[in-house]
């Protein structure tokens, strides 16, 4: 274990050192290239900042409005028919929108039901098999200035839905 920790602590400094040595051998101006990259990164941050602010405001409004609870109450009978635990619905609904919100919901699920419980395990698998789809699409498409995201959104949300359903099915089969 000490060797793994030692290697982990050295990994990033060694990578940086290798890059600097290689760039010096190629006669590149390392610091100038670094500054150019930092400027480009700052420009990207400034270009996607309005999108992120709008997304965070929408997420906050969605969570605080209580609409998630209304939707969950409405579709619980359908969830019971397909044996999908309704306790996972807040996670399933927030995961495509907000990574931090989904993490908070997953932690709450694990505190309530435990990590060794079927619901806790399903929550863990859902977190690992899905993406913060809307956030990712918003960042990537605003960065490259794509306006029409309808097809991307449908495909990505379908993939998230499949990931969530397969997570539950696999847990039901394995446990």
42 and 77 inside one domain? no
Q: Do the beta carbons of residue 93 and residue 65 sit within 8 Å?
A: no
74 and 44 inside one domain? no
How many folded domains does the chain comprise? 2
4 and 77 inside one domain? no
Which tens digits make up the pLDDT trace of 124-171?
999 988 888 887 887 788 777 787 777 888 888 899 889 888 888 888
Which tens digits make up the pLDDT trace of 86-114?
889 989 988 988 887 888 889 989 999 99
160 and 75 inside one domain? yes
Which tens digits make up the pLDDT trace of 17-33?
988 888 888 888 888 88
11 and 97 inside one domain? no
Please give the pLDDT value at position 13.
92
Q: Do the beta carbons of residue 149 and residue 137 sit within 8 Å?
A: yes
Domain that holds residue 156: 66-174
Is residue 61 included in any domain, yes or no? no
1 and 73 inside one domain? no
96 burial (CB, 10 Å; 0-12 / 13-18 / 19+) is: buried
């Amino acid at each position: 274990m000490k060797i793994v920790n030692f290697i982990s602590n050295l990994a990033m400094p060694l990578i940086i050192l290798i890059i600097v040595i290689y760039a010096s051998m190629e006669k590149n101006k390392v610091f100038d290239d670094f500054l150019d990259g930092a400027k480009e990164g700052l420009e990207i941050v400034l270009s996607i900042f309005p999108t992120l602010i709008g997304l965070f405001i929408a997420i906050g409004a969605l969570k605080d409005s209580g609409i998630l609870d209304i939707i969950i109450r409405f579709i619980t009978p359908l969830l019971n028919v397909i044996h999908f635990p309704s306790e996972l619905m807040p996670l399933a609904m927030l995961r495509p929108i907000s990574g931090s919100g989904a993490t908070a919901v997953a932690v709450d699920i694990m505190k309530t039901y435990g990590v060794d419980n079927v619901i806790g395990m399903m929550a863990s698998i859902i977190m690992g098999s899905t993406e913060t789809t809307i956030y990712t699409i918003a960042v990537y498409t605003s960065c490259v200035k794509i306006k029409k995201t309808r097809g991307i959104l449908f495909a990505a949300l379908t993939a998230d839905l499949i990931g969530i359903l397969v997570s539950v099915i696999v847990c039901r089969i394995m446990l």
